[in-house]
């Protein structure tokens, strides 16, 4: 073993994922099917740049392709999988809100598309169990009930737009359902609408229009305010916010922004100063809202905040109605604290007819039109259709919302280790003797890479999958691995041991240890008292390299027999003969021992599953002290 130079505890990262997989009728599938089926390599990958800087400007995995060379063990089984009955099934895609024709064409070329607009929540729940994908805009609430009603069939929810506050992401993750959105195609439309509302509000365009149409000519009533030289506070300096800022600069406004997560250099590049929340709201003449609706931003504009704004401020909201306490806004408008508001979005959509806010004379409203330009809708439709089709094929989308942001190049080199990780998980759990619950799992990665250069989330998920699936009915994929582990009370801690060797390969070895359990193969228990197995990737293939304290080297293909015996001549021949007599083909064999003529371990890879009689005969060999048969 290489010498160890440092040890770093890895911080357990947030949940991550893969999309569920649409099983294609060909043997070409994706990483995700690869993750759902125990298969062998090779895998090829292509990259896609994440378009959303709010997703850390990271490269994310897209179009992860693979050639399945064997599908020995199918470990993915959605309760109602697509290919039941048909040799060439087409997935059913439900579109519950108006989607551009170009996007529908993309969907129709791949699946059966049903456009059912204005479904009631009950109707959606009834319909969803026959659908593999659902495409929504902001008008459909994809609640926990919808995921429950889907009975495991729903594999992907596509949000044809940005805001995913209408999708219960936690429930989606728990049910292993991928959520994708279309984060970029409507950015300009939303920014343009924000600027349109700002200008219209400042010059009373809507009110004056209504007045003229009512036969009046009230020139002095509708004197507006100029925007040039005024301070605009952009709250949320993301895609839309920065486009609004850019346009406002063009109008001669002084632009400041508040965004706790936005990089200062991006703001600086646009000539925008990032300031604190209080500084933004207390100095601005105009406040434009562009943050997502989250528990933190919910009603962030309330009585308390309105008490801090500059008197006579004007507010534009093209983000989400829920970021404003609407009753507080009415009070602020009535009190003259807020001079005017221009709102495209509301807490409840459509808002109640008698809404004081909507009816307020100083309020300009539009019915959630931010994304509604021909160009944006066409773009969004194509963006979401491609993402959903990709997800149904099993690809990880560049716009996955509850998927891992594992850089594609990282994934590419990790792929053989991903196979190894799942196999080690499967092996380790099969070594546990019944009776004691599994609680603590420790994963040790030996690597020459810098800690920052080793993303282990994918490996952790696959170990989790390998551990959980053989012992439960849970279906584990990359979307729900961390959640499922937590739910089952598994504590998975990770440790990285730095080694002095070439950092060419991401990982030298992966060790899986299960603590405080008895083993059905005592030799798998290391000196520390944990079940411990270690594996490496050799020539692109997963190998088992250590069992307990015994070094072995066996390719992890087919199944495995582990025997502990007294180290003496003739053992390999004897066991090999028994297997041969029963037509069990040995693919690999390796012997590891602690000391000469003392105890040794034989690790035997077998293509077929030996029957009871064969195993009994092996157990009957006098020098064999214990043995176990493990399914990979
Ligand atoms: N009215 C409409 O039709 C449309 C509305 N939208 C909405 O506009 C909003 C922004 O969309 P994008 O710019 O595409 O999203 P984005 O994700 O690119 O930007 C959101 C920004 O808000 C920031 N943020 C998060 N929490 C914050 C907080 N507490 N205070 C200040 N900033 C915070 C984030 O760091 C991020 O930079 C979303 O709510 C989206 O749903 C987007 C498109 C159309
Ligand atoms: O993309 C967003 O966040 C939007 O608010 C657009 O919503 P819509 O697709 O027009 O219902």
Kind plus residue range of the DSSP H or E element containing 605? strand 599-606
pLDDT higher than threshold 60 for residue 45: no
Domain span holding position 160? 92-181+377-393
Q: Which ligand is nearest to the CA of 318?
A: 1
Which of the four pLDDT bands, split at 50, 70 and 90, describes residue 39?
very low
Residues 175 and 201 occupy one common structural domain: no
494 domain residue, yes or no: yes
The pLDDT value recorded for residue 399 is: 82
Residue whose token pair is 């919808």: 146
67 domain residue, yes or no: no
Q: Which of 368, 446, 543, 593 is catalytic?
A: 368
Contacts of residue 12, Cβ cutoff 8 Å, sequence gap at least 6: 460, 482, 492, 493, 494
How many domains does the chain divide into?
3
1 domain residue, yes or no: no
Contacts of residue 418, Cβ cutoff 8 Å, sequence gap at least 6: 31, 34, 35, 458, 459, 462
Sheet holding 338-343, edge to edge: 273-274, 254-258, 231-235, 286-289, 313-317, 338-343, 363-365
The torsion angles phi and psi of 467, rounded to 5 degrees, stand at -80, -45
Residues 128 and 233 occupy one common structural domain: no
Q: What is the pLDDT of residues 449-458, one digit of tens each?
A: 988 788 888 8
Residues 130 and 232 occupy one common structural domain: no
Which of the four pLDDT bands, split at 50, 70 and 90, describes residue 406?
low
The pLDDT value recorded for residue 408 is: 63
Q: Which of 349, 375, 413, 609 is catalytic?
A: 349
Do 316 and 288 meet the contact criterion of CB atoms below 8 Å apart?
yes
Q: Which two tokens stand for residue 111?
A: 């699946």
What CATH code is carried by the domain that includes residue 497?
A: 3.30.1330.90
The pLDDT value recorded for residue 436 is: 67
30 domain residue, yes or no: no
The pLDDT value recorded for residue 396 is: 65
63 domain residue, yes or no: no
The pLDDT value recorded for residue 444 is: 97
Q: What is the pLDDT of residues 150-203, one digit of tens each?
A: 999 999 999 999 999 999 999 998 998 999 999 999 999 999 999 999 999 999
The pLDDT value recorded for residue 596 is: 66
49 domain residue, yes or no: no
Which of the four pLDDT bands, split at 50, 70 and 90, describes residue 360?
very high
The pLDDT value recorded for residue 126 is: 97
What CATH code is carried by the domain that includes residue 160?
A: 3.40.50.720
pLDDT higher than threshold 90 for residue 323: yes
Do 300 and 327 meet the contact criterion of CB atoms below 8 Å apart?
no
Question: Comparing C-alpha atoms, which of 576, 466, 457 is closest to residue 512?
Answer: 466
35 domain residue, yes or no: no
Residue 171, classified by CB atoms within 10 Å of its CB into exposed (0-12), middle (13-18) or buried (19+), is middle
The pLDDT value recorded for residue 585 is: 86
**Index of the ligand 2 atom closest to the CA of residue 163:** 3
The pLDDT value recorded for residue 470 is: 86
349 a catalytic residue: yes
Question: Comparing C-alpha atoms, which of 301, 20, 345, 327 is closest to residue 165?
Answer: 345
Q: Residue with the nearest Cα to atom 39 of ligand 1?
A: 292
Torsion of CA 74, 48, 412, 448, to 10 degrees: -140
Residues 125 and 162 occupy one common structural domain: yes
268 a catalytic residue: no
320 a catalytic residue: yes
Residues 438 and 578 occupy one common structural domain: yes
Residues 616 and 563 occupy one common structural domain: yes
185 lines ligand 2 (CB under 6 A): no
Residue 168 C-alpha to ligand 2 middle, in angstroms? 16
- Of 130-139, 272-281, 378-387, 611-620, where does mean pLDDT reach its minimum? 611-620
To test the pocket of ligand 2, the residue of 370, 381, 385 to mutate (highest count of ligand atoms within 8 Å of its CB) is 370
Residues 237 and 125 occupy one common structural domain: no
Residues 468 and 609 occupy one common structural domain: yes
36 domain residue, yes or no: no
Which of the four pLDDT bands, split at 50, 70 and 90, describes residue 34?
very low
In terms of pLDDT, which residue wins out, 623 or 233?
233
Report yes or no for ipTM above 0.90: yes
Residues 428 and 470 occupy one common structural domain: yes
The pLDDT value recorded for residue 105 is: 98
Residues 430 and 542 occupy one common structural domain: yes
- DSSP string over 409-453: HHHHHHHHHHHHHHHHHHHHHHTBPTTS---EEEEEEEESS-GGG
Residues 571 and 621 occupy one common structural domain: yes
Q: Which ligand is nearest to the CA of 234?
A: 1
Q: What is the pLDDT of residues 581-602, one digit of tens each?
A: 988 888 888 887 766 667 888 8
Q: What is the pLDDT of residues 271-312, one digit of tens each?
A: 999 999 999 999 999 999 999 999 899 999 999 999 999 999
Highest mean pLDDT among 41-45, 176-180, 359-363, 465-469: 359-363
The pLDDT value recorded for residue 4 is: 37
Question: Which residues on neighbouring strands pair with residue 557, listed in sequence order?
Answer: none
Residues 140 and 266 occupy one common structural domain: no
Residue 289 C-alpha to ligand 1 middle, in angstroms? 8
């Amino acid at each position: 073993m290489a010498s160890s130079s440092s040890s770093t505890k890895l911080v357990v990262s947030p949940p991550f994922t893969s999309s569920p997989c649409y099983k294609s009728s060909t043997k070409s599938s994706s990483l995700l099917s690869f993750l759902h089926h125990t298969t062998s390599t090779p895998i090829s990958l292509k990259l896609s740049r994440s378009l959303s800087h709010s997703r850390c400007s990271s490269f994310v995995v897209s179009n992860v392709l693979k050639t399945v060379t064997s599908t020995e063990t199918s470990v993915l089984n959605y309760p109602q999988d697509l290919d039941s009955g048909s040799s060439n099934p087409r997935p059913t895609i439900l579109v519950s809100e108006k989607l551009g024709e170009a996007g529908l064409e993309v969907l129709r070329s791949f699946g059966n598309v049903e456009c059912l607009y204005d479904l009631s929540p009950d109707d959606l729940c009834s319909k969803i169990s026959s659908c593999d994908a659902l495409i929504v805009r902001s008008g459909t609430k994809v609640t926990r009930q919808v995921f429950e009603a889907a009975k495991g069939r729903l594999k992907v929810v596509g949000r044809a737009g940005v805001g995913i506050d209408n999708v219960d992401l936690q429930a989606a993750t728990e049910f292993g359902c991928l959520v994708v959105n279309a984060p970029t195609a409507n950015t300009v439309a939303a920014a343009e609408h924000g600027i349109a509302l700002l200008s219209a509000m400042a010059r009373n365009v809507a009110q004056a229009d209504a007045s003229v149409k009512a036969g009046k000519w009230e020139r002095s009533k509708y004197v507006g305010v100029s925007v040039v030289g005024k301070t605009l506070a952009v709250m949320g300096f993301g895609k839309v916010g920065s486009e609004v800022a850019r346009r406002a600069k063009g109008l001669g406004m002084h632009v400041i922004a508040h965004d706790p997560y936005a990089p200062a250099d991006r703001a600086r590049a646009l000539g925008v100063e990032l300031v604190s929340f209080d500084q933004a709201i207390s100095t601005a003449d105009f406040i434009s809202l562009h943050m997502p609706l989250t528990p933190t931003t919910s009603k962030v504009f309330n009585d308390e905040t309105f008490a801090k704004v500059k008197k006579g401020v004007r507010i534009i909201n093209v983000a989400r109605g829920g970021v404003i306490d609407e009753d507080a806004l009415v009070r602020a408008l009535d009190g003259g604290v807020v001079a005017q508001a221009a709102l495209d979005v509301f807490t409840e959509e459509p808002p109640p007819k008698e809404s004081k806010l909507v009816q307020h004379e100083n309020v300009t409203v539009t019915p959630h039109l931010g994304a509604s330009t021909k160009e944006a809708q066409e773009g969004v439709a194509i963006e979401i259709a491609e993402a959903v089709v990709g997800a149904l094929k099993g690809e990880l989308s560049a716009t996955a919302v509850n998927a891992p942001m594992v850089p594609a190049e990282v994934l590419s080199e990790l792929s053989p280790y991903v196979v190894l990780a799942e196999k080690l998980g499967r092996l380790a759990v099969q070594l546990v003797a019944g009776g004691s619950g599994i609680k603590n799992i420790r994963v040790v990665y030996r690597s020459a890479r810098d800690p920052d250069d080793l993303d282990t989330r994918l490996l952790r998920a696959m170990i989790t999958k390998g551990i959980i699936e053989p012992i439960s009915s849970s279906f584990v994929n990359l979307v729900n691995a961390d959640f499922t582990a937590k739910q089952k009370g598994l504590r998975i801690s990770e440790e990285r041991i730095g080694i002095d060797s070439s950092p060419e390969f991401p990982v030298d070895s992966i060790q899986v240890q299960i603590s405080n359990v008895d083993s059905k193969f005592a030799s798998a228990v290391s000196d520390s008292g944990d079940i411990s197995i270690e594996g490496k990737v050799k020539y692109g293939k997963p190998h088992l390299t250590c069992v307990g304290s015994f070094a072995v080297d066996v390719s992890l293909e087919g199944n495995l027999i582990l025997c502990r015996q007294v180290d003496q001549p003739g053992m390999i021949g004897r066991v090999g003969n028994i297997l041969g007599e029963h037509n069990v083909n040995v693919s690999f064999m390796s012997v590891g021992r602690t000391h000469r003529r003392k105890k040794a371990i034989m690790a035997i890879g077998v293509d077929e599953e030996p029957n009871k009689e064969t195993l009994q005969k092996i157990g009957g060999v006098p020098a064999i002290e214990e043995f176990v048969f493990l399914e990979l």
